[in-house]
Structure 1
Amino acid sequence: MTIRPLVILPDAMLRQASAPVGAVTPEIRRLADDMLETMYDAPGIGLAAVQVGELKRLLVLDVVRDEGVDGNPMIFIDPEITWKSEEANIYREGCLSIPEYYEEVERPAQVRVRYRDIHDKMQEIEADGLLATCLQHEIDHLNGVLFIDYLSKLKRDRVNTKFAKLARQMARG
């Protein structure tokens, strides 16, 4: 497994929609393993393929990880939200592609997601709480949507300006 570099805001790739994976090949399995390794190293609880520079509809999660011990790594291939509850929850979200920035975001409290697993079998999961929030956050990534898009225009503009400035400073060395 390889820890891959993260794609960071303002990289335009984060705004692109990801393509369906298609067949689950050894390369896709390797990418999923690399993504889990990258997510654990960051550390984070979710990661979409676009965040490691791959425009594929693939995401990994582990919302029960505790102090460096892998809890329940999950791999979702071509995930699709098929139902959202009317009830909402608010969670303080962050993103590995927007480091060290956190804001409260309101999302549906429960979702149903259809996806293929790493063995190319169709699955469906109903999720609530943190898992529902994380699934929605990562599926948004696959559609070119970031959690900051749920914030006020003022907050969103501040974040975009901050990360554009940091990117210019990094480019200058």
Structure 2
Amino acid sequence: MGAKRVIRMGHPTLRLKAKSLSKEEILSDGTRDLVQDLIDTMEVEDGIGIAAPQINISKQVAIICVPDNSPRYPGSSPSGLNVVINPKITILDDELQGFWEGCLSVPGLRGFVKRPRKVQIDYLDLEAKEQTIIAEDFLATVYQHELDHLFGHLYIDKVSDPSKLSYNEEFVQFWANDAQNIENQQEE
């Protein structure tokens, strides 16, 4: 167990619909080991979420943990660690909101993506128990981004304006500290 190599855009596993897990598989030591590997990898990579396909394991398992006072995501509400297995997403508010997204599997880039503002995620936890979470605002985007990995999608598939796809250095230089640009993008 421990941190694993994150596969990058272009690797075929990232474009597969991941396999759902049975109750027996969820309760297995192998799934607990997988979750620990995901946690270790997310921490090493300084991410706020990761899905099993990103470490080349095509299973419907993802973890999300938005830390308190994240310097990369200022103003975001902390979420605590959540293990999500076999999720189903329901849009509760289809009003779109936009955020600049990055991805461990698409290193060095950020893109402005608009997603539904409020979603419900029905899933199984690590004890194979049914759970529901309602996520709004930035947290809704985080969940949608991570769970997209379980269905073969990357955030760059959802960047509608190619002029809002940027290398990280240019993002920091031209977009991150420009509150007026970010406010304007939220209104578009």
Q: Could you state the TM-score of these two structures normalised by the residue count of structure 1?
A: 0.83
SS at match of 1:44: coil
Pairing partner for 1:38 from 38, 41, 45: 41
Residue 87 of structure 1 and its aligned partner are, at CA, apart by 1.5
Question: Which residue does 1:94 correspond to in 2?
Answer: 102
Query: How much is the aligned-residue C-alpha RMSD, in angstroms?
Result: 2.5
Letter in 2 for 1:83: I
Q: Which 5+ residue runs of structure 1 have no aligned equivalent?
A: 160-173
> Retained in 2: the 8 A contact 1:45–1:65?
no
Letter in 2 for 1:21: L
Task: Give the total of aligned pairs.
Answer: 158
Question: Which residue does 1:15 correspond to in 2?
Answer: 15
Pairing partner for 1:143 from 132, 138, 151: 151
Question: In 1, Cα distance between the equivalents of 2:118 and 2:66?
Answer: 15
Q: Which of 70-79 and 103-112 deviates more?
A: 70-79
Q: Which 5+ residue runs of structure 2 have no aligned equivalent?
A: 72-77, 168-188
Alignment of 1:50-61 (within 5 A): 50-61=53-64
> Retained in 2: the 8 A contact 1:14–1:51?
yes
Q: Could you state the TM-score of these two structures normalised by the residue count of structure 2?
A: 0.77
After superposition, give the CA deviation of every residue in 1:125-171 in whole Å (9 maximum; x if it has no partner). Answer: 10112211011011111110110011248569999xxxxxxxxxxxx
Runs of 4+ in 1 over 6 A off after TM superposition: 155-159
Taking a change above 3 Å as real, the CA distance of residues 158 and 92 of structure 1, as seen in their structure-2 partners, is: closer
Letter in 2 for 1:104: F
